[in-house]
Amino acid sequence: MCGIVGKVYVEPGRPVDGDLIARMKHCIRHRGPDDDGTHLRAPAGFGFQRLSIIDLKTGHQPIYNEDDSVVIVFNGEIYNFQELRERLIKLGHVFKTRADTETILHGYEEWGTNIASELRGMFAFAIFDHKNNSLFLARDRTGKKPLYYTHIRRGGPDEALLFASEMKALLADPDVPRNVDISALNHYLSYQYVPHPLSIFEGIKKLPPGSWMHFQNGVEKVERYWRLQYEPKYEVSEERAIEELTARLDEAVKVRLLSEVPLGCFLSGGIDSSAVVAMMRRHIAGDLKTFSIGFREEAFNELPYARQVAEKFETHHEEFIVEPNAIECIGALAWHFDEPFADSSAIPTYYLSKMTRQFVTVALNGDGGDESFAGYARYRGMPVLHKYRRIPKLLRAAAAGPFDIAAEAFSRNAKAELLSYVNRMSLMSEERQYIQCMVFFREYQKSRLFSEKYQNFLNESDADSEGLTESLMRDGTAREMVDKMMYSDIMMYLPGALLPKVDRTTMANSLEGRSPFLDHHLMEFAAKLPGELKFPNRELKGLLKKALAPIFGMEFLNRPKQGFGVPIGEWFRGDLRKLTEDFLFSEKARQRGFFDHKYIRRIFDQHVTHQQNHTHRIWALLMFEAWCRTLLDRSDPLAGPISLG
């Protein structure tokens, strides 16, 4: 687990400034404090920061091929590298190290762009071939490892391409402009994150998950090499499906136990992380470390369930309680995430990572189980809306106009707004209705939130945030509605929210996270399971629960899902209220010109007086302002987190 940076000029003989590569590396040193390396040979410059996990003695990067004409820097772990290494040796390749990185390099020489499809694991890497002055970038299937890039043009044709594991490293180059992308900001307000391929800055992009890029002579080519296939469905009995699921999960955990440094597991007490601990115990006879986090507020606390699992499998268990003063980490989160990010569960994940790093360097987790085995309550649909839809459609359509007028007339009445919105939503397609479970600032709310300066933008096609998810739900081979929902989450929510949350918070603390449920063999198996097996009678994780029942019992597995929530809404009414008001209503925030601050005051007052719950919306606005002060207002990306004083 590491960090990579680089710059490649279009002009073949133009050298890259070594001081720039050094600055870029320093921006991401937290991703790999154990070692670093640099490659400087015109027209390419690569940098590398290493967190040593495997091949501690010979895993230094960059790594070169036999004649030093091809060079690679790599971030991630490849779990089938030994198998690939043996194949490549038989084909005549000569290895200098025992590292998985060198396997990718020789694999690229042998199979070209198809190397990405051969890899099992999490990865983002860059390969430069000096023989033909070409750059090859690739990112793993689900986007566990980040990869940003941008072109340097300065008003003319391409001069260079920059890439990095974190966006702040790109900002180390003074030629990279910092103009907020309003389309990206709009999507952020909908989803709490900026979806790929956009970033919050114009001109900076994320390489999409499951994709590679080839760059040569100033020409960029991006292709997608992986997508989940949901059809044709397997014809399989429930008993056989359970056997196969258990075997694949067990094997996905087993291959992720390879490490030359201490290893443990995040344990929330939920089904997925508990399953990972159970599988780990099958292969680890001795000391097994587990780590949990909780809150004083009982409704958000799953520690008792985590303790049950820890006791059952006799793990060395550590716990940490997050108090309201944990909000002191706002500055750290804004700096480490590089972009506005408003999933408040990043707070406990950050502190969990910080605690875990005191004991181990690698931690497995349960990420990805919900998206492959139907674990979110939203997959069940919205029963209240279904009842409302019993009203004849003609009547609902006729009522839309009057409801909208009433909502406008009583614009300070949250219930009037909500009724108008629910009526409009009932007229939407099934896909659009699902999306309403995903968005936080809805379209009618954003029309009031954005300042007059940006009102015209909301009428443009780029402003349709909900269309991003809708297009994914209709993309690919998924036919059953539950498959469409899970596929859109795998392609958008996972790489946009869940995986960046874990990557940034773990790497902020120089900790490697591994996710067995994101093993592509397991995901591909789950995708082709019939809905009546995977999601029987709309029971969340129905098949997974049956597979785990002999281990945990159904009483443990059937308790209500809590998620990794944070009592942030109450904190806004208490310990966090003054800081939030200082951020949102400061003169600095007003002068930015993005928002109508009268509307922000309105929703804030509604929240603190319990008229309406605006927790996620206020947090999104707070984190956006924290990001502005961190990377928009300050020119030096090395300045670190802002002070909240």
* Predicted TM-score (pTM) of this structure: 0.93
Instruction: Tell me, yes or no, whether 72 and 132 share the same domain.
Output: yes
In angstroms, the CA 74 to CA 78 distance is 10
Q: What is the DSSP string of 320-351?
A: EEEPGGGGGGHHHHHHHHSS----TTHHHHHH
User: How buried is residue 67: exposed, middle or buried, by Cβ count under 10 Å (0-12/13-18/19+)?
Assistant: exposed
| 288-294 mean pLDDT | 93
Tens digits of per-residue pLDDT, 630-640? 999 998 988 88
Instruction: Tell me, yes or no, whether 132 and 205 share the same domain.
Output: yes
Domain-terminating residue out of 162, 194, 224: 224
User: Is the separation of the CB atoms in 269 and 302 below 8 Å?
Assistant: yes
Instruction: Tell me, yes or no, whether 417 and 303 share the same domain.
Output: no
Nearest 5°: phi and psi at 262? -60, 145
Instruction: Tell me, yes or no, whether 103 and 35 share the same domain.
Output: yes
What own/partner pairs with CB < 8 Å and gap ≥ 24 does 412-416 have? 412/602, 414/606, 414/611, 414/612
Q: Which conformational region is residue 622 in: left (phi greater than 0), alpha (psi within -120 to 50 degrees), or beta?
A: alpha
Residue 272 lies in a domain: yes
| 451-468 mean pLDDT | 86
Residue type, 568: I
Q: What is the pLDDT of residue 213?
A: 98
Of all residues in the chain, the percent with pLDDT exceeding 90 is 70
SS (H, E, C) 33-96: ECEEEEEEECCEEEEEEECCCCCCCCCCCCEECCCCCEEEEEEEEECCHHHHHHHHHHCCCCCC
CA nearest neighbour of 593 among 451, 399, 380: 451
Instruction: Tell me, yes or no, whether 299 and 361 share the same domain.
Output: yes
Q: What is the pLDDT of residue 50?
A: 86
Residue predicted with more confidence, 161 or 324 = 161
Above 60 in pLDDT, residue 411? no
Q: What CATH number corresponds to the domain at position 81? A: 3.60.20.10
Residue 19 lies in a domain: yes
Q: How many domains does the chain have?
A: 4
Q: What is the pLDDT of residue 256?
A: 97
Domain-terminating residue out of 507, 531, 557: 557
Q: How confident is the model at residue 571 (pLDDT cuts 50, 70, 90)?
A: confident
In angstroms, the CA 112 to CA 103 distance is 13
| 24-43 mean pLDDT | 94
Instruction: Tell me, yes or no, whether 436 and 523 share the same domain.
Output: no
Joined together, the tokens standing for residue 235 give 């014809």
Q: What is the pLDDT of residue 421?
A: 67
Residue 232 lies in a domain: no
Instruction: Tell me, yes or no, whether 62 and 194 share the same domain.
Output: yes
Q: What is the pLDDT of residue 416?
A: 64
Q: What is the pLDDT of residue 518?
A: 98
Instruction: Tell me, yes or no, whether 300 and 409 share the same domain.
Output: no
Can you give the residue range of the structural domain that contains 386? 380-444+453-473
- Name the catalytic one among 2, 27, 265, 628: 2
Tens digits of per-residue pLDDT, 353-386? 999 999 999 999 999 999 999 999 888 876 566 6
Above 70 in pLDDT, residue 191? yes
CA dihedral sign, ordered 266, 272, 277, 280: negative
Instruction: Tell me, yes or no, whether 213 and 244 share the same domain.
Output: no
Residue 434 lies in a domain: yes
Above 80 in pLDDT, residue 507? yes
Q: What is the pLDDT of residue 456?
A: 86
Q: How confident is the model at residue 2 (pLDDT cuts 50, 70, 90)?
A: confident
Q: Is 2 a catalytic residue?
A: yes
Above 90 in pLDDT, residue 608? yes
Q: What is the DSSP string of 89-125?
A: HHTT---S-S-HHHHHHHHHHHHGGGHHHH--EEEEE
In angstroms, the CA 473 to CA 458 distance is 23
Q: What CATH number corresponds to the domain at position 282? A: 3.40.50.620
Tens digits of per-residue pLDDT, 510-551? 999 999 999 999 999 999 999 999 999 989 999 999 999 999
Above 70 in pLDDT, residue 161? yes
Instruction: Tell me, yes or no, whether 399 and 496 share the same domain.
Output: no
Instruction: Tell me, yes or no, whether 163 and 247 share the same domain.
Output: no
Q: How confident is the model at residue 475 (pLDDT cuts 50, 70, 90)?
A: confident
